[in-house]
Amino acid sequence: MFSGTMVAIITPFYNGKVDYNTLDELIGFHLKSGIDGIVPCGTTGESPTLSHDEHRHVIERVIKKVAGKVPVIPGTGSNSTAEAIELTAFAKKIGADASLQVTPYYNKPTQEGFYQHFKAVAEEVDLPVVLYNIPGRCGAGMTASTIARLAKLENVVAVKEATGKLDQASEIASLCDLTILSGDDSLTLPLASVGGKGVISVVANIIPGDVKAMTDLILEGDFIAARKWHNKLFRLSKVMLSMATNPIPIKAAMEILDMASDEMRLPMTPLSSSQKQELKTLLSDYGLSV
């Protein structure tokens, strides 16, 4: 369940509201691509600007549309432990396969605070937990030893590693057998070299089949063939996702490709016209029809 290519799916908007029709179309597109899992309401899904009702409705819509074909791992984390437990319980009730739990943001917990937060979620709701360690977005992150400590809890099954540090992943792998998933598209193959089993991918929003081709080869142990995909994917992943804060660039790319609007909610704002032209050239160079 927790390996391969899982797409961190966007939340499409239209005129300020969640565009559920486009969301349905995107889910259908990913299922046809052979995606290994769908992750709604993560960072890429703009969960911080979704209302609580919208957050629940998006999760429920994805689970119903997927209908058990692949695992659905919704983001149900919060900087409030009580809210994280409540939303995770809702996700379990409506049939989620696991939950993605981001490190509490803004609060800047101690390592003990991180441990107690995730322990409470894992023990209160009987649903597999994928830890999401992304200090660049949250102001603080977990050490490898804290993650290894959490790995001893029955429901903690994987970690989405988005620190950008291979040493961090190596240390986690040396301390426990927790499944490690890349949180950075450009690092999926490098992380696999130290034990990573796949990626929760942003760029898979537009090229899920290509990302999956790479992770399939990784899981088969064919790193030489996987490297060819890594080299093809690298520039698109690195340049696009460096243009602005995620999900600004991926939404711009999806608009260029007529997949979804680039509409976001403040404080997120679209790419400039010059950046969009640069992105259009990047997509064309990759081989996409723009």
**Catalytic residue numbers?**
132, 160
Strands, DSSP E only, in the chain? 4-8, 13-14, 17-18, 37-39, 99-102, 129-133, 156-161, 179-182, 198-201
Buried b (16+ CB within 10 A) or exposed e, 144-168: bebbbbbbeeebbbbbbbbbeeeeb
Collapsing DSSP to helix, strand or coil, 142 comes out as coil
Contact between 245 and 268 under an 8 Å Cβ cutoff? The reply is yes
Q: What is the rounded CA–CA span in Å between residue 11 and residue 71?
A: 18
Asked, as a colleague might, if the bond just before 247 is cis with ω within 30 of 0, I would say: yes
- Phi, psi (rounded to 5 degrees) for 216: -60, -45
Token pair 């509409």 is found at 263
Place of tokens 């690092």: 187
